[in-house]
Amino acid sequence: MTRPFLVAALAAATCTFLGGCNQPSTSAPAAPAGTSTATTAPATTAPAAGTDTAATKPAPTDFDQLADRVVANAGVKEGDIVMVTGRSSDAELLEDIAVAARKLGASPMISYSSDRLAKRMFFDIPEKYDSQTDALGMKLAGIVNVVISIGNQAQEALFEGADPKRMAARGKADEPVSMAFLKNNVRTVEIGNNLYPTPWRAERYGMSEDELSKMFWSGVNLDYTDLVKRGSDVKAMLAAGDEIHITHPNGTDLTVKVKGRPVGVSDGVISAEDMKAGGAANAVYLPAGEVYTTPVAGTANGKLVNPKSFYRGKAVDGLTMEFKDGKMVSMSGSGPGFADLKAEYDAVSDPRKDDFAYVDFGINPNVKLPANATVGNWVPAGTITVGTGGNTWAGGTNSVPYGQTVSLMGATVTLDGKPVIEGGTLKL
């Protein structure tokens, strides 16, 4: 799994322009073939078709307050065109974000999708279109100023049975769309960060869904002022360093040089400084709390072990990657999911898939995974995440639409021999 850029769902989305928007409905781009019919009436409930959950739960947090904060932190201003995307089951939050944007004089658009629609847009579409770049996505990249998305995939094994060669072709075709959004400095906020409460995520993290929900919204609603300060401190430390050394009792022993590489921070706020920098600096992921950089080319060496991960709901045990001079030279593993994971890897012909891509430090003190969690996540303070393949989201130049991501809890990390993380505890 790799961190996607925030345009992946555009091809499967239904674009619903709000009645209060400045643009007349006749100027709205046509919905992609196979989606439900768009409406110009203000939405009051989620569309019935494609809903991911049967019952609507009470709002777990004050959505109006959250919406105001999100649009402010995205730098939304009068005249902006704001695309709000997510599952129809999250309609209330999507609509509250759209209202908050409109209150600032922006023109919002809601793009609804669902797991059902995403699945059909793959399996029901002829293979001959797999290499077709999404024309709507390319147009939107030149129109939209801000994308605010909710990352809520309700089904873990949504694409079980998908031909890996077709998936690779789809990824390659969508690469220009992602790069167009990046090049055009579209500001992006993703609410989810692979923590959005669902039953399958709760199981992976060793929690009940209610416990995951409380942790998630606590992580989203923390004091951003404190997080900005913490992110700034870790950024300064990392920017002044040269070599990172990562070890773990699971057998991980990896070194990589980062001297002179740009350092980014996902602190929940897209500041004026971020907008000036452009590119990857224009994106944040909520819950926020990450400081990341990309490697000096050719310097990653050693072994990376992920003791437990899941591929479409099937366990992958002991995934082990060996690196030499910045390239992954071998990958091994076991478990019922490894063969399919390896088949997906083999289907990607682009050699950039093997590049060591990034190092990411989790700094959010409000996101704490229990000891029995079977997988890690980007943001808990003291987590170290590394990956291969695409790294444009982290300020790199590798845009290959593929990669492996490993989040390690309990690791020890040194920077030029000085401890930054000890046994999973961030040292500040």
Return the pLDDT at 6: 44
Q: Worst-scoring range by mean pLDDT, 12-16, 118-122, 298-302? A: 12-16
Per-residue confidence band for 3, with pLDDT thresholds at 50, 70 and 90 = low
371-398 average pLDDT score: 96
Q: Give the list of residues 6+ apart from residue 308 with CB closer than 8 angstroms, or none.
A: 315, 316, 317, 374, 375
Per-residue confidence band for 222, with pLDDT thresholds at 50, 70 and 90 = confident
Return the pLDDT at 223: 84
For 10-191, CATH number? 3.40.1830.10
369-379 average pLDDT score: 94
Per-residue confidence band for 59, with pLDDT thresholds at 50, 70 and 90 = confident
Return the pLDDT at 345: 97
CA neighbor of 320 nearest in space, from 344, 335, 205, 294: 335
In terms of Cβ atoms closer than 10 Å to its own Cβ (0-12, 13-18, 19+), residue 373 is: middle
User: At residue 24, does pLDDT exceed 70?
Assistant: no
Return the pLDDT at 182: 95
User: At residue 50, does pLDDT exceed 70?
Assistant: no
- Cα distance between residue 407 and residue 421, in whole Å: 13
| Residue 220 contacts residue 191 (beta carbons within 8 Å) | yes
Residue showing tokens 């090049």: 183
CATH code 3.40.1830.10 region(s) in the chain: 10-191
Return the pLDDT at 217: 94
Distances (CA, A) of 418 to 234, 334, 364, 410, 421: 13, 35, 21, 17, 9
Return the pLDDT at 162: 96
Q: Give the list of residues 6+ apart from residue 265 with CB closer than 8 angstroms, or none.
A: 228, 231, 232, 234, 235, 290, 291, 292
Distances (CA, A) of 221 to 152, 191, 290, 378: 18, 11, 15, 17
User: At residue 421, does pLDDT exceed 90?
Assistant: yes
User: At residue 302, does pLDDT exceed 80?
Assistant: yes
- Cα distance between residue 292 and residue 309, in whole Å: 22
Distances (CA, A) of 322 to 306, 326, 360, 388: 12, 10, 19, 11
**Cα dihedral across residues 278, 280, 281, 282: positive or negative:** positive
Digit-coded pLDDT (tens) for 60-99: 899 999 999 999 999 999 999 999 999 988 999 999 999 9
User: At residue 26, does pLDDT exceed 60?
Assistant: no
Per-residue confidence band for 146, with pLDDT thresholds at 50, 70 and 90 = very high
**Residue bearing the bigger pLDDT, 372 or 26:** 372
Please provide the average confidence, as pLDDT, over all residues in the chain: 88
What are residue 17's phi and psi, to 5 degrees? -75, 135
- Cα distance between residue 151 and residue 9, in whole Å: 10
CA neighbor of 248 nearest in space, from 412, 137, 130: 412
Digit-coded pLDDT (tens) for 262-287: 999 999 999 999 999 999 999 999 99
- The predicted model scores a pTM of 0.87
Beta bridge mates, 413: 246, 421
User: At residue 243, does pLDDT exceed 90?
Assistant: yes
| Residue 320 contacts residue 304 (beta carbons within 8 Å) | yes
**Residue bearing the bigger pLDDT, 110 or 33:** 110
Per-residue confidence band for 326, with pLDDT thresholds at 50, 70 and 90 = very high
User: At residue 9, does pLDDT exceed 70?
Assistant: no
182-186 average pLDDT score: 97
Return the pLDDT at 39: 30
Work out the number of other CB atoms within 10 angstroms of the CB of residue 233.
13
User: At residue 20, does pLDDT exceed 70?
Assistant: no
E strand or H helix that includes residue 359: strand 356-362
168-196 average pLDDT score: 96
Return the pLDDT at 56: 57
